[in-house]
Structure 1
Amino acid sequence: MSISTSSSPFTLAVCAEMVFCDQPMIERVKRIDELGFNVEIWDWTRHDIEALANSGAVFSSMTGYVSGTLADDAGADELLHTAAASVEIAKRLGIPRLNLHGTGLNAEGLPVTPCYQLTGAMWLKARETLNRLADLGEQHGVTFVLENLNTDVDHPGVPFARLADVLALVESVDRPSLRIMLDVYHAQIGEGNLIELIHRCAPYIGEVQVADVPGRCEPGTGEINYAAIASALNDIGYRGTVGLEGWASGDDELALERFRTVFSL
């Protein structure tokens, strides 16, 4: 398939964990790059970093920790320790944004330590931990991005999962080295009212991730009006990265072209 010549006001990226799944990771990365997209990865400990660094691809984001939690002392120290190691890998790959969650996730996306009720002390501890991460980001010239998740379908038991919660934390820290990874798929399942959420989060968006609902496939396969999402992002003046973090509903290259088309204004 030839590369589309349509243009986008956004930088478009594709998560290599979820497309071309019949190929080795390095081949997925190279194919995504050949098709004109930046590349996103998840847990760097599962990959050949030297091969990725030599692939020639431009990487957009990766998971910014290996283990730990935001809201308890031991978990926060573990999170900072593994975040520091992740920063070094990000620097090798030229990755500007490192993704965070309220707690560590296992291979199935489930929380290692589930939490179903937040206390005021946990909110304060999470804010303190995020400030420490912002310090680390400033020191190394990278941005940590806190991602909203849904707890109804994919990630039950993850604390600080709702986009409203993520916004409250990032806004309270209010530092350029901490921003929101605004995941539209998760927000639709967990909260809805997507256009309003985009406008509310506008000053703090570090990156946007997309997939449709239900099924978590490329835009155009479900209920989300992605033409309206693209217009809303354009209206707020967003010019950053939009990443496809979704499965292909059929042919992988066709799915990527559908994604590119809806975000080409």
Structure 2
Amino acid sequence: MPMYTLAVCAEMVFRDLPIHDRARRIHDLGFQVEIWDWSRHDVAALSRTGAAFSSMTGYLRGSLTDPDGAAELLRTAEESIKVAEQLGCPRLNLHGTGLDEKGLPVVPGTGPVTGPMWIAAQRTLSRVAELGERAGVTFTLENLNTAVDHPGVPFAKAEDTLALVAAVDRPGLRMNLDLYHAQIGEGNLVELVRRAQGRGLIGEIQVADVPGRCEPGTGEINYPAVARTLAELDYDGTVGLEAWASTDSDLALERFRSAFTPA
């Protein structure tokens, strides 16, 4: 049996229900629960569901590279830690810059990431990691794709995210390795998982199929092969479904469970 835990993003399934009812439904089906921007939800109602919360967005605004953006990211990260304590949520997710409700960067990049931007991002992430360590939570930096969903986001590729997490080299920061985004941006997913896990830098793995960003089994990614690799590597973290249901949410969760339950 796999050692890892399965979680489901409540933002993307059972969308006819209020978010707290989605969380309860996911919990009743045997999964942990993930959410995005906590400020849009009734946190007290979520905490009453009895669900185990696996991950949530760890900031509200800000960016990694400019001083004002970094200060805002750190300030809202501290707010997010307080909410994570209410929900018992161990991981708080970050991106290269603030995203709007459509997933687009609030301040899109206009050119390549420069050396000074890398240094500034490393410094900001070191401060974020320190916040996490003091609070007993882990911040995760997620790779994104710029070709389809998040054009203009800096540090978007999995290799960039991995490099930043390695450069910070603190237990309060790990990588949220999103295989949907990595397939669009880079591919070669099994070797990417092996490399990141071998360096001990994975805080979570998120999945959806390509194209369409629906549950495993609806696209081109061989997720059973990924699951076998995770089992071989003794991965004992979380695999989170961050995907739209292609037809029915209950079916989507069963397909996810089946893909990540090696025979």
Please tell me the TM-score bracket, short chain as reference.
over 0.9
CA–CA distance in structure 2, aligned partners of residues 117 and 175 of structure 1: 26
**Aligned pair partner of 2:156 in 134, 157, 161:** 161
Aligned match of 1:14: 8
Q: Deviations over 1:203-224 (max 9, x none)?
A: 1000000000000000000000
Matched residue type, 2:195: R
Supply the distance in 2 between the matched residues of 1:8 and 1:233 (Cα, whole angstroms). 8
Aligned-pair identity in percent equals 64
Structure 1: gaps of 5 or more residues? 1-6
CA distance, structure 2, for counterparts of residue 173 and residue 234 of structure 1: 27
Which of 215, 218, 222 in structure 2 is aligned with 1:221? Answer: 218
Aligned residues: 259
**Correspondence 1:65-76 to 2 at 5 A:** 65-76=59-70
What is the Cα deviation at residue 177 of structure 1? 1.0
Matched, 1:244 2:238: no
> Is contact 1:206-1:240 (8 Å) kept?
yes
Superposition TM-score, scaled by structure 2 size: 0.97
Give the AA of the match of 1:79. L
Deviations 1:95-122 (A, max 9, x none): 0000000000000000001113211000
Aligned with 2:93: secondary structure?
strand
Provide the aligned C-alpha RMSD in A: 0.8
Question: What amino acid is the match of 1:44?
Answer: W
Which residue does the alignment assign to 1:187? 182
Distance, in Å, in 2 between the alignment partners of 1:57 and 1:111 is 31
User: Is 1:184–1:209's contact at 8 Å kept on the other side of the alignment?
Assistant: yes
Range with greater deviation from structure 2 (142-151 or 224-233): 224-233
* Structure 1 partner of 2:143: 148
1:93 aligns with 2:83: no
User: Using the alignment, how far apart are the partners of 1:62 and 1:42 within structure 2?
Assistant: 5
Instruction: Find out whether 1:23 has 2:17 as its counterpart.
Output: yes
Aligned to 1:254: 251
Q: State how 1:13-162 maps to structure 2 within 5 Å.
A: 13-115=7-109, 116-162=111-157
Moved runs in structure 1, 4+ residues, more than 4 A?
none
Structure 2: 5+ residue runs without aligned partners? none
Q: CA deviation at 1:175?
A: 1.1
Secondary structure of the residue that 1:185 maps to in structure 2? helix
Structure 2 CA distance, aligned partners of 1:253 and 1:185?
20
Secondary structure of 2:206's counterpart equals strand
2:3 and 2:234 in contact (8 A); partners too: no
- Hey, what's the Cα distance between the residues in 2 that align with 1:234 and 1:69? 35
2-structure distance, mates of 1:113, 1:229: 34
Counterpart pick for 1:230 among 222, 227, 230: 227
Contact 2:7–2:239 under 8 Å retained in 1:
yes
CA distance in 2 between counterparts of 1:101 and 1:132 reads 15
Q: How far has the Cα of 1:8 moved from its partner?
A: 3.9
The answer to whether the 8 Å contact 1:9/1:264 transfers is no
